[in-house]
Amino acid sequence: MNADMNTAVERYYDTTLDLYEELWGEHVHHGFWDEGERPDADGADRHTATDRLVHELVSYAGVPAKARVLDVGCGIGGPALYLAGALRCAVVGVTLSAQQAARAGEKAAEAGLADRAEFHQLDALSTGFPDASFDVLWAVESLMHIADRDAFFAEAMRLLRPGGRLAIATWSVRDGALSEDEQELVDQILKHQVMPSFSSLEEHERMATAVGFTEVASVDWSRAVANSWDPEFALIKKPEHGRATMVSLARERGADVLGFFYAGPLMKKGFDTGVMTYGAIRAVKPAKTFGEVVELLGVVLDEDHAWRATVTPATTLDGDLELESIELTALSEALQARYGATVDLAAHVAGLDVDEMIAFTVGDLAAFVAAHTAQADGA
């Protein structure tokens, strides 16, 4: 299934590369507009709006300057060249399309960024890169093409360094069961866009959390990007000779190319009905602090190393570990002995309400320790 899907995705983007670049521009993804903004009324044009989506993801995910970035599904390099240029990141882009990788390399050379941006035809789930190779894993509108998304998040965890960041922008679907008509619309979009399935933003969060990411969050950008599919709003350039061009391209390149043209009306309907959504997901790979906190937990609870391996950032102190008050006090004292008086876990927990106390995870604890240690260092 994965091999067949990869081949289909490669063929689709090889076939449509010039169409996307000619009609959509450097960024082969949605644009981002403020509520009420219109391109024909002194608002951002499509190209500026697609630039903005990249800037919004950088800000939302906290992508740092000069980071080493893996760009999964890099397309023809638009976002990668921004990261390599404005942020001076070292970017490695991977795509299933050989033609996309080649074109992205050309654009990097033209921009004078070939020393900071390189592109390869690789499967994102089997790149061969060593563990902990990157500071940021960036994926803009590529995750929809990956059938095994659990494997994607696990691979992201492997490739990121401790403290590394995950930055995703993706097509998604409304959480929960869909009606028969809604599912039929989704199936049509999947068929024409060479995608195996959609996940909801909430499902993405759950998958990221399950493999151990912390600070997992998502934001719904559906209203900001939906007009990307309205040709009158977004002022999308139409192919010369209209339908005749579509027929000619289908004869020349195969019927798959028609998916490029069918996407617009289907996606517009999807956004109009609320079935299709769009958003960003961010997460952080636990830094060294997490492992140290788990070690202290093991000492306080008198557990062995095998037990410690079962503790994830999503493990709760109350429900999963069932910490007693005396154990919480002992842990707080152990943390203060190691990290200083500002890391007062007992006082922090005492200030939580019941629901917050029940939901407090080991990942939250590690973040609390890191934040208060940093505050003490700064003071």
- Write the pLDDT tens digit of every residue in 239-248: 554 555 544 5
The CATH number linked to 365 is 1.10.1200.10
- Of 284, 306, 324, the residue that ends a domain is 284
Measured in degrees and rounded to the nearest 5, phi and psi for residue 156 equal: -60, -45
Is 265 found in the same domain as 159?
yes
Contact 34, 216 (CB under 8 A): no
- Which comes out higher in pLDDT, residue 102 or 18? 102
- Which comes out higher in pLDDT, residue 161 or 221? 221
Given this model, what pLDDT does residue 260 score? 55
Is 226 found in the same domain as 306?
no
Residue 236: how many other CB atoms lie within 10 Å: 16
Whether 259 shows a pLDDT value over 80: the answer reads no
Domain total in the chain: 2
Given this model, what pLDDT does residue 54 score? 96
By percentage, how much of the chain surpasses pLDDT 90?
59
Length of the chain: 379
Any idea which residue has 């033209």 for tokens? 110
For residue 176, give every residue at least 6 positions away whose Cβ sits within 8 Å of its Cβ, in sequence order, or none.
Answer: 200
Is 261 found in the same domain as 302?
no
Is 329 found in the same domain as 204?
no
257 is in which domain, residue-wise? Answer: 2-284
Is 253 found in the same domain as 333?
no
Tokens of 145: 């093409």
Is 216 found in the same domain as 135?
yes
Is 215 found in the same domain as 92?
yes
Is 185 found in the same domain as 144?
yes
- Of 284, 306, 322, the residue that ends a domain is 284
Contact 59, 79 (CB under 8 A): no
Is 72 found in the same domain as 214?
yes
CA–CA separation, 279 and 92 (whole Å): 23
Given this model, what pLDDT does residue 104 score? 95
Give the pTM. Answer: 0.73
Given this model, what pLDDT does residue 19 score? 58
Tokens of 272: 């109009």
CA dihedral 130, 134, 136, 140 (to 10 degrees): -50
Average pLDDT of the residues in 58-66:
95
Is 208 found in the same domain as 349?
no
For residue 289, give every residue at least 6 positions away whose Cβ sits within 8 Å of its Cβ, in sequence order, or none.
Answer: 366, 369, 370, 373
CA–CA separation, 379 and 373 (whole Å): 10
Average the pLDDT over each of 21-30, 40-49, 141-150, 207-216 and give the range with the smallest value. Answer: 21-30
CA–CA separation, 355 and 341 (whole Å): 26
* Segments of the chain assigned E as strands: 68-72, 90-95, 117-121, 134-140, 160-173, 214-220, 276-284
> Average per-residue pLDDT in the chain?
86
Is 74 found in the same domain as 157?
yes
Any idea which residue has 């006090």 for tokens? 329
